[in-house]
Amino acid sequence: MVLRVYNTLTRQMEDFTPLHDGKVNMYVCGPTVYDHCHLGHARSYISFDVIRRYLAYRGYDVRYVSNITDVDDKIIDRAKETGENPFELSSRFTLSFIEDMDKLNVQRPDVQPRVTEHIPEIIETIKVLIDKKLAYATPEGNVYYDLTRSLDLVGVLSRQTIDGLLEGSGSRVDVEKDKKYQLDFVLWKISPEDEPGWESPWGRGRPGWHIECSVMSVKHGSEQLDIHGGGADLIFPHHEAEIMQSEGYTGINPFSKYWLHNGFLTIDHEKMSKSKGNFFTIKQVLEEFPSEVIRFFMLNTHYRNTIDFSEKHLEEAGRAYERIANTISNIKYAIQNAPENGDDFCLSEEVNQARDSFIVSMDEDFNTREALADLFVFARKVNALISESNPGKIALEEVLTFFSEIDQVLGVFSEGPATCEEIPGGASDEDVESMIQQREDARKARDWDLADAIRDELKEKGIIIEDSKDGVRWRRA
Ligand code: AMP
Ligand code: ZN
């Protein structure tokens, strides 16, 4: 089986063959830290986390670099509003971002470089671009990339034409007046006295947004990447600018062999973003929903498709999540009383088939949606086998091992159903045990109404109880 990925560069599905056997150099654009991150950011980083984990699952040695933009106009503007020092503000939100990612079980990058720690390297790179006549400094102290030197690269990712760009220029294109050409983009910009700045050959200033990724990917990743990732909004101008800068600097083409872009998380079909104000922070959502459910919700859509966010959709994801988590719980329960070898029938074969389906789905551009759909089918079969036959410990343990194996990629089941209490309307194992005890007490006291009421309440929470000669058994529906 061959892993295939959708490459924005070619607009095609392609077989994935890294530049160096067995190794993958991956760079993903990190956040601009001027506030707590929202769920749209979570979408991007969960997508690339799963891509990274799957590549590792497939045996690749993955190096994952993702930056932190900790100096930027938005940070400076926000610091002016709050009266805070911009560096303190950005450190605060960097920590907030790392904390959110940890909670969402997003593995930390191998390197997470910050712009403010790379100013000398950025200045050196800009000097090389000027020496190569790919960039120019203006008397005002700004440095621009000379787009007329890279016209062949215009539209390489975005498929836009120069005419189209000139007509539509405005959004995310700099409008400074000292440029030679309207579409030139800034590499270094002069800082006013009261704003952060660093001394440079062109005066006191700070880097433009695009240059940091070219510099940090070379320094911490490689001069040529296997995968470059980010949200679809970064395709233009950010990623095209990165291509021009990086290829101009290293002389190596292509800068990245594969370009992967995640689709948007929307609210009412509009992209969730800070500037529109239509966002929920990751922290807000984590107050209401367990992180496993948020991850599961994201993975239930292919990473390139749009997800429309609503509380209702998250609740639905919670219920779907619980179905698989309950299967894991059922297996754990069944193992306790299972014989070493039982009527295993085809459980082992089912596991092998489930593994094959998982790989087939994930090999098709990391199709987590299909992978989860297959997992539901598998979970249903396992539930049926447990309730209808008498599988042995060895076979059941094989199923559990399979769930942990694929969870190295999905990262949603490691805590198992212990988190069910956090799902609205859910019940933890301890809650269930305690309610069953109350029902037993009611039965002993011949309070049949109360016993029935407790049974009904458990049923509403998706808990089925069975009275057997060995006592009460329960499972999740
Ligand atoms: P920013 O801090 O805005 O540069 O965003 C950091 C990363 O999150 C980029 O790759 C963005 O494309 C991505 N991102 C931001 N908002 C969303 C969203 N609503 N849906 C998906 N990805 C997003
Ligand atoms: Zn970037």
Q: What is the pLDDT of residues 205-264, one digit of tens each?
A: 999 999 999 999 999 999 999 999 999 999 999 999 999 999 999 999 999 999 999 999
308 lines ligand 1 (CB under 6 A): no
Ligand 1 site-directed mutation target among 38, 67, 93, 233, most atoms within 8 Å of CB: 233
Ligand at shortest distance from the CA of 270: 1
Residue type at 371?
A
Mean pLDDT of 48-73: 98
The predicted pLDDT at position 418 comes to: 39
Distance CA 215, CA 246 (A): 8
Looking at the whole model, is its pTM more than 0.85?
Answer: yes
Q: How many CA atoms lie within 13 A of 252 on its CB side?
A: 13
Distance CA 157, CA 233 (A): 12
What are 220's strand-pairing partners?
Answer: none
36 lines ligand 1 (CB under 6 A): no
| Span 83-111, pLDDT tens digits | 999 999 999 999 999 999 999 999 999 99
Q: Quick one: which atom of ligand 1 is closest to the CA of 230?
A: 10
Mean pLDDT of 23-42: 98
CA of 405 from ligand 2 middle (Å) equals 32
What are 135's strand-pairing partners?
Answer: 145
Sequence-ordered list of residues with C-beta below 8 angstroms from that of 315, at least 6 positions apart, any chain? 424
pLDDT reading at 422 higher than 70: no
41 lines ligand 1 (CB under 6 A): yes
Distance CA 278, CA 147 (A): 35
Ligand at shortest distance from the CA of 255: 2
Cβ-contact 414, 407 below 8 angstroms: yes
Distance CA 135, CA 149 (A): 9
Ligand at shortest distance from the CA of 94: 1
pLDDT reading at 177 higher than 90: no
Distance CA 393, CA 396 (A): 5
The predicted pLDDT at position 345 comes to: 64
| Span 295-330, pLDDT tens digits | 999 999 999 999 999 999 999 999 999 999 999 999
Cα 431 vs. chain centroid, distance in angstroms? 32
